[in-house]
Structure 1
């Protein structure tokens, strides 16, 4: 599906940059062509600045989204999520960041969460990077308690895990 969405902007590299940012951040496009997160409008000039394009490129991208039924359906319904990663240590929660050998392999989440469950840790949040958008995708898990060292050792033994980072 992602390649189909990006493919609609083939030959338009500036608009493709805008589409990628909208998808990565989970920003919606409303019926008026405004970029929003929930009910908060994000000025096209700010998106243009982030992407390194002219504001009119953002305008043209949102117009194209509204004219295409597939794009419209996706961008009117996508949602962003809040990640606890950077605040979890302040809240007494554990953070495990897994870098897989190949994020498209089957069973990585199952293998990792099975090991965590053996340590009787509850996973409060799990967020994975989409390998389509990230060159180095990671899985971030927030647990209800700090991470014991033995858990890290066990996670490193998994066949699909390249590295384990604890925050």
Structure 2
């Protein structure tokens, strides 16, 4: 997905920041030329502040997207992923597992969910950072109940796992 963006915006880093912020937040470009999060219209000023660019860069970015069929197809079909429960898990008596992964992360999600399943704990959410956008990508698992801390050693034995935090 990043290759067409890099190609289109390589000479325009501010526009690239806008496109990355749109993807990060699940913002789409609708047929009216406006940016939305679901059905909520996002102001150019709000997105400009979030992407740390001038407001005029938003319009320039949306024009490029609208005039490129490949980019338009991507950005018109983005949907927000919903609420990540990580920051409110404690209030809801849920468990949180954060696993920092390396670029060699093939099969980590499967191995992690298998270990959690063996402990008879249900998974409520799983969220993985994009390895192309984060220096230290995290796999975040929200569980129905906290997992026992002795599972950390088992997580660390999985190839591609750098660090594990459980709370």
TM-score scaled to structure 1, two decimals?
Answer: 0.94
Contact map agreement 1:65 1:75 (CA 8 A) in 2? yes
Corresponding residue pairs, total: 166
CA RMSD of the aligned region, Å?
Answer: 1.2
Aligned to 1:130: 130
Shift of 1:8: 1.0
Contact map agreement 2:116 2:147 (CA 8 A) in 1? no
Aligned to 2:94: 93
Aligned to 1:109: 109
1:33 aligns with 2:33: yes
5+ residue gaps, structure 1, are none
CA distance in 1: counterparts of 2:23 and 2:104, whole angstroms: 19
CA distance in 1: counterparts of 2:88 and 2:118, whole angstroms: 25
CA distance in 1: counterparts of 2:105 and 2:159, whole angstroms: 11
1:125-164 mapped onto 2 (5 Å cutoff): 125-164=125-164
5+ residue gaps, structure 2, are none
* Structure 1 stretch displaced more, 53-62 or 103-112: 103-112
1:45-124 mapped onto 2 (5 Å cutoff): 45-81=45-81, 82-100=83-101, 102-124=102-124
Contact map agreement 1:121 1:144 (CA 8 A) in 2? yes
CA distance in 2: counterparts of 1:106 and 1:159, whole angstroms: 9
CA distance in 2: counterparts of 1:110 and 1:166, whole angstroms: 18
Shift of 1:40: 0.3
Shift of 1:151: 1.7
Aligned to 1:19: 19
